Each structure stands twice: as structure tokens, then as C-alpha cells.
A and B are shown apart, each in its own frame.
Chain A
Amino acid sequence: AQKVTQAQTEISVVEKEDVTLDCVYETRDTTYYLFWYKQPPSGELVFLIRRNSFDEQNEISGRYSWNFQKSTSSFNFTITASQVVDSAVYFCALSEALGSFGNEKLTFGTGTRLTIIP
């Protein structure tokens, strides 16, 4: 069975500080996909990134960066120069293909609540 662990339940940092959210996963699949989603207080989950298991290249998108390390089964997310708008719950997720076309199940971690203090 697949598993995603986000050990940090809550993190608070002062605005403009950098913060890293940890994600560790377990899977027996050789091909898998990892995701990060942001859930602001409004409730909608916002897709941030998708990464497949064959692409270990780190990615940067503005103030966001992701570090994928297959050797340690980790997919960590760093926010640089944090802003108040970054306050949200962040979920790491692992996809599992079930059966045929389009049958995808996301296994979510328990989420990390990030609070940016102005």
C-alpha cells in the first residue's frame, strides 16, 4: 500500500523567511507521480506541481522550488521569501493507477498547516 508522510503538522514563520515543507513517500511502483497541492482557507485545493518518478531534476517556479530525491523517497517543497498569502494547508500526494484508463487515486499526506506571520 502506498503512503505519504508529512511529519510537520504546523509551521509558523515570519514573513520573508524561507520555509521547507517535508514529504516522504512509500510505494512499490517503479512508475509513480508526486504532487503538491495548496489549500487556502477558502477550501479549494490548488494544484502546484506534478513530478514523475523518472524525472529527478529539481524545479523552481518563482518563489517555489521542489527537491525530489528518489534515494530518500522524499519530495520537499521550499518557499523562498514567504508572504502572508502563502498561509494555507499544503498537501503532498502520490498517485496510484487502479485498473484501466483514467482510474487514478491520490494518496494524500495529512497536510502541513503553514502560517506566515506578518
Chain B
Amino acid sequence: DTEVTQTPKHLVMGMTNKKSLKCEQHMGHRAMYWYKQKAKKPPELMFVYSYEKLSINESVPSRFSPECPNSSLLNLHLHALQPEDSALYLCASSQGGRKSYEQYFGPGTRLTVT
């Protein structure tokens, strides 16, 4: 099973709202990722969790707050977003470790900020 699930599929939020995106994998992977993808662009890395610890933050604004409650779950907390944050947010996981293993992606959450 190479499935990564993400909820919700679609989210519309105002600039003053607080919401969370959720991601789950049951492949025993120890690395999990958040990406942001704008239309007609490649995915851009936001955060990497390795063995449940935040290991990479690609200079993401603080209105995005990641959380890894356990090895299977990854959340992205959203607060005071801007309209330009509207995008497809993709979660991925990989085996982790010193080799570069393939990342498996979820279907994404399409976020619209009004």
C-alpha cells in the first residue's frame, strides 16, 4: 500500500480564519513533507519532518505552522493567510534514511483564501 491521504480535499477560508490540513500515511515511512504548488508550477518544498522532528523549514512564513504528532500523521496549521497563499498543498512521505528514496504524494488539499 503506497497511499498517502489528505483531508480536506478542498478548503475555503477567510484571512482571519484558523484551519488545519491533515496528512496520514501507514507505510512506516519516517520522513514526511509539505509542498505548496501554484497553478502551472512545480511543487515547492515547505517543510520536512524526519523521525518526527522538523528538519527543514524552507523559510516559510510563520502563518504556516507544521506539526507531526506521530510517525503517521502530519498537520499544517493555517492562520491569518493571504490570498496569495491560495494553492494546492501536497503532503508526501518517504522511507527516510541516508539514501534518497522516492516520495509518495497525497492527492492534495486545494486551498482558497478569500
Contact = CB atoms under 8 A, between A and B. Distances in A.
Contacts of A64: none
A108 B98 contact: no
**How big is chain A's contact interface, by range?**
20 to 34
A80 B41 CA distance: 26
B103 A43 contact: no
B56 interface: yes
Interface of B: 2, 30-31, 40-43, 45, 48, 50-51, 55-56, 88, 90, 92, 94, 96-108, 110
A26 to B, nearest CB: 16
Interface string A48-70: 00101000000000000000000
A35 B103 CA distance: 10
Contact of B42 (A42, A47, A50, A109): A109
